[in-house]
Structure 1
Amino acid sequence: MATIDRQATTLALAHALSAAERGLAVIPLSRTKLPALRSPHRDAPASLPCRGECGRPGHGVHDASTDPARIRELFAAAPWATGYGIACGLPPHHLIGIDLDTKSGADSSAALRELALRHLFTIPPTVVVLTPSGGRHLWLSGPPGVAVPNSAGRLAPGIDVRGAGGYLVGPGSRTGHGVYAVARGTAHLAPAACPPALLRLLLPPPRPRQPASPAAGGQHGQGLVQFVRAAHRGQRNTRLFWAACRAYENGIGPALVDSLVAAALDRGLTEREARATIASAARMTGHRP
């Protein structure tokens, strides 16, 4: 059974509530940096594709909330929690975490500087969180409708990326190795916009465009439209962006815009949100919206 450190839990809750006031959705974490609440489906005979639709806590980052009452409920259900995680990819900040690790033995800070020189970008002043192992988390803000995937070492050795579906350990959290803390002079900052050149490196490379016959294009296009229509709340922008990227990569983007917008409207997005997401996909795949 987990040891309960009530003082650490109280401090973690206070820090989590403070983060929520800044628009950051949070979950309680244990000393191991893992979500403190176990899945309510752990004893089910087969893994259920539930992301919190059942209404019970224990779905990891899908429990993340900015509602103070909900956050207190989550911490009350996990009195052994000594930290909190901040969900990435959610509005209003669409947080992207650049984790400069030290445990791998690689000089991750030097690797990031080399990338910046090679691809002509600079990291703007932003929130920096110091980890107990001597690493740093850089907080950046991504554009709406763009889902940055999580990765470990893909950008460069020692650099991990936390994006949609991932989380960062929040400052003030206590783990088995020590306490996470905001670097001096950055606590008052908001997450800075991710430089476009860096954002392109964080996203998967677009697949090569292949000319498609009208019949194949129409069939593929309808599949993309249905993919958007099947989106649940919380997936709508991500699915729309993915489908639009695939449409532009396959040369059917302009012809599919109205159908994708209609599918997005059917799932509850506004026309303005849908067209902005599709325009982002067009730019990201090298097309003019």
Structure 2
Amino acid sequence: MATIDRQAATLALAHALSAAERGLPVIPLSRTKLPALPSPHRDDPQPALCRGECGLVGHGVHDATTDPAAVRALFAAAPWATGYGIACGRPPHHLIGIDLDTKPPEADATAALQHLALRHLFTIPETVVVITPSGGRHIWLTGPPGTPVPNSVSRLAPGIDIRGAGGYLVGPGSLSSRGVYRLAPGTAHLGPAPCPRTLLDLLTPPAHAKHPQRHGDHQGQGLVQFVLAAHEGQRNTRLFWAACRAYENGIGEELSGALTSAAITTGLTEREALATIASAARMSTAR
């Protein structure tokens, strides 16, 4: 059982309720920034792709709600939660998160975004900006209904990740193992601004664009190798990341067996590996 930091848990609930009042669907997060509630299907012999249809909590971003009573119930079920996640792509705001990393070699993510803006002639409007404990920035924008923005990692440019439909942003005031997420100075009074049309076009590739099978094979091999390179303490995190990327790119089902085998090789049990991959599948926007 995780250690309970009651003060941090109380603050997280207060911040989550405040966000819910503004129409932002929330879920409780642990210090790892992952959903705090375990999957109700974690002990199933086969991974379940349930997105909450079973009526139980523990389905990650699919639990997100703006109902105050439901928010309190989620946090009551996870008293160890020290943060909250805000579901992206959900009405009424249809939130889009631009995640600018600061870790090498992605330290120029801000400059890369500026370069994209100059090249494609758009301007990031004044909007909510959240500073991460590592010094990165989350820029909040809103999208139009009926235009789902997919999650992506470094697709626009190195160090620029996108949180869209099926993803979530760590809310300001959340406490992670690395520190507190805070609103950037001068943005606390702002609401999320509409995403510039040109940038929105960059974030929503044509529906007919498909990865060639050869590219999928190459990418799958890279994800398996990424899991195999995990050391103790990072095995589950690497597996979850790799599985999310696989499902986002439509190769999750065919790669799940190889990812499971790789995770077992690094020291995870088969049950742990299957549960982690199932969790990634539920959080993915892949269809």
TM > 0.5 fold call = yes
CA drift of 1:21 comes to: 0.6
After superposition, give the CA deviation of every residue in 1:154-173 in whole Å (9 maximum; x if it has no partner).
01000000000000000000
Q: What corresponds to 1:100 in structure 2?
A: 100
**In the alignment, residue 207 of structure 1 is paired with which amino acid?**
H
Q: Does 197-206 or 123-132 show the bigger shift?
A: 197-206
Partner SS state of residue 156, structure 1: coil
Q: Where do 5+ consecutive residues of structure 1 fail to align?
A: 209-289
Matched, 1:33 2:44: no
Q: 1:1-289 to 2 correspondence within 5 Å?
A: 1-106=1-106, 107-207=108-208
CA drift of 1:187 comes to: 1.3
Partner SS state of residue 156, structure 2: strand
The verdict on how the C-alpha distance between 1:190 and 1:207 changes in structure 2, with shifts beyond 3 A counting, is same
> Equivalents in 2 of 1:48, 1:174: separation in Å?
30
CA drift of 1:189 comes to: 1.1
Higher RCO (CA 8 Å, separation ≥ 6 residues): 2
Q: Does 43-52 or 3-12 show the bigger shift?
A: 43-52
- Of structures 1 and 2, the larger Rg is shown by 1
Q: Where do 5+ consecutive residues of structure 2 fail to align?
A: 210-287
After superposition, give the CA deviation of every residue in 1:23-64 in whole Å (9 maximum; x if it has no partner).
000000000000000100111111222111111110000000
> Equivalents in 1 of 2:48, 2:206: separation in Å?
31
After superposition, give the CA deviation of every residue in 1:217-262 in whole Å (9 maximum; x if it has no partner).
xxxxxxxxxxxxxxxxxxxxxxxxxxxxxxxxxxxxxxxxxxxxxx
Q: Does 182-191 or 87-96 show the bigger shift?
A: 182-191
CA drift of 1:206 comes to: 4.7
> Equivalents in 2 of 1:98, 1:104: separation in Å?
18
After superposition, give the CA deviation of every residue in 1:137-163 in whole Å (9 maximum; x if it has no partner).
000000001110000100100000000
> Equivalents in 2 of 1:200, 1:206: separation in Å?
12
> Equivalents in 2 of 1:31, 1:41: separation in Å?
22
Q: What corresponds to 1:237 in structure 2?
A: none
- The sequence identity of aligned pairs, in percent, is 77
CA RMSD, 1 decimal: 1.0
**In the alignment, residue 96 of structure 2 is paired with which amino acid?**
I
> Equivalents in 1 of 2:67, 2:104: separation in Å?
37
CA drift of 1:205 comes to: 3.2
Aligned length: 208
The verdict on how the C-alpha distance between 1:147 and 1:104 changes in structure 2, with shifts beyond 3 A counting, is farther
CA drift of 1:207 comes to: 3.1
Q: What corresponds to 1:258 in structure 2?
A: none
> Equivalents in 1 of 2:104, 2:59: separation in Å?
29
CA drift of 1:18 comes to: 0.3
Partner SS state of residue 161, structure 1: strand
**In the alignment, residue 194 of structure 2 is paired with which amino acid?**
A
> Equivalents in 2 of 1:194, 1:90: separation in Å?
15
Partner SS state of residue 31, structure 2: coil
Partner SS state of residue 137, structure 1: strand
